[in-house]
Structure 1
Amino acid sequence: MPGRFFLTESIEEIAAFLGVAPEGLDAPPRLNVAPGEEVLCRAGDGLERMRWGLIPQGRTNARGRPVMEVMVNARSETLFEKSAFAGVKRCIVPMNGWYEWTGETRRKTAWAIRPTGGGLLAFAGIYDVWEGPGGARVPQLATVTCAPSADVREIHHRMGVILAPEAFGTWLEGDEAEAKALMRPWPEGRLVVEKADPLPDQ
């Protein structure tokens, strides 16, 4: 959707894919990136590290109550409508693929979804900075989701919004209408789904 993902390319390959400079960052291979951990993303013209999980501080829901839960994913259908997302900026999250699980508890099958032919994927994201007591500042992000493509429909009812390289600038800097046009399922045939090996923790 994703709830876990993997990123195994070198920092140089990631930076080249996103069209930015590595800027001294490193990126050791990670086979099971979970919410709450720091992830690489492109925000503006550079690479940054942000916590995966957005705490919408100071924002309210439709009933005027504070939004307290950490948001790992944001639905594309309501991204520009919910007050919880007012004022957030857009970013891009690189990954080699993500995991989904099917089946009953304790007997679930883990699936790895990756691009056909290998390489990197670019997930649309949103971010802001959480400000806590004592001047603490935590950059944080959530990935954006949409309806699934035919490639993943049988294992999950949602998928991340995937961006083509030529759409990076539009997602980061385009207006609301231009961004909305990008929030659609990845074309059929561009993803492969296979049993995860090694098995990731859920």
Structure 2
Amino acid sequence: MPGRFFLTSPIVDVARALDQGVGPVADEPARRNIAPGQELVVLTDTGLCRMRWGIIPVGRVDARGRPVMKTLINARSETVFDKSVFRGTGRAVVPVNGWYEWTGEKRRKTAWAITPKSGGLLLFAAITDCWRGPGGIEVDQIATLTCAPSADVVDIHHRMGVILEKDDIGLWLSGVQQAVTPLLRSWPAGRLQVEKAVDVDWNGP
């Protein structure tokens, strides 16, 4: 499942591919290492914007009525519509060129970069929320959805992000639950490329 993203395409190309204006993300630089807790460029039903990757579910409780304390960067697509902690969340799409996974033991891990074989963007389904803090602070935030892995990535992780087709963006952003549920599945096998990640500064952009 996505633990780090990268978006290296010029933001004007990203906007064009999504039939959007650049708007408030016009100054977005190329980024090879986007970590949880940082801002991502996302697409909502109002256009491109930035949101924090990781939902801090302040005020949300689990099925037992207990407060959820951890930051959630991913949510299981199989249960996202059932869990009370996600009730009332919105939807977004995260456009990236790919994501990273790791295999191996601690201190000997191998980093893998996963990209579309055809090039271009991967469009990850996500849910959104707004964290409200003291003094009227508001932070828009997202968590990506995960599903079972395709044959392309099953050897490196037991989960993967839900990847959408471009034609399904509008349905995901505004469709009813019954209509969007079929979108929450593994991407077809043979469409992703997995290569060792090289020359990535894991402490920087």
1:12-71 per-residue CA deviation (whole Å, 9 max, x = no partner) reads: 111122221101522211000000001100011311100000011211112110111100
Structure 1 vs Structure 2: percent identity of aligned residues?
Answer: 58
Encode CA deviations 1:66-105: one digit per residue, 9 max, x unaligned: 1111000010011000111000000000100000000000
Cα–Cα, structure 1 residues 7 and 58, in superposed 2: closer, same or farther, change >3 Å?
same
For the pair 1:23 / 2:54, whether they are aligned, the reply is: no
Question: In structure 1, how many angstroms separate the alpha carbons of the residues matched to 2:191 and 2:199?
Answer: 23
Does the 8 Å contact 2:8/2:31 carry over to 1?
A: yes
Instruction: Give structure 1 regions of 4+ aligned residues with deviation exceeding 2 angstroms.
Output: 199-202
Contact 1:110–1:199 (Cα < 8 Å) also in 2? no
**Normalization by structure 2: what TM-score?**
0.96
Q: Which residue of 1 aligns with 2:58?
A: 57
Q: Which residue of 1 aligns with 2:182?
A: 181
Q: Secondary structure at the match of 1:77?
A: coil
Structure 2 runs not aligned, ≥5 long: none
Structure 1 segment 48-87 matched on structure 2, within 5 A: 48-87=49-88
Match of 2:3 in 1: 3
RMSD: 1.1
Q: Secondary structure at the match of 2:125?
A: strand
TM-score (norm 1): 0.97
Q: Secondary structure at the match of 2:170?
A: helix
Other structure's SS at 1:169 match: helix
Alpha-carbon separation, structure 2, partners of 1:31 and 1:184: 26
> Which residue of structure 1 aligns with residue 12 of structure 2?
12
Tell me the CA shift for residue 108 of structure 1: 0.6
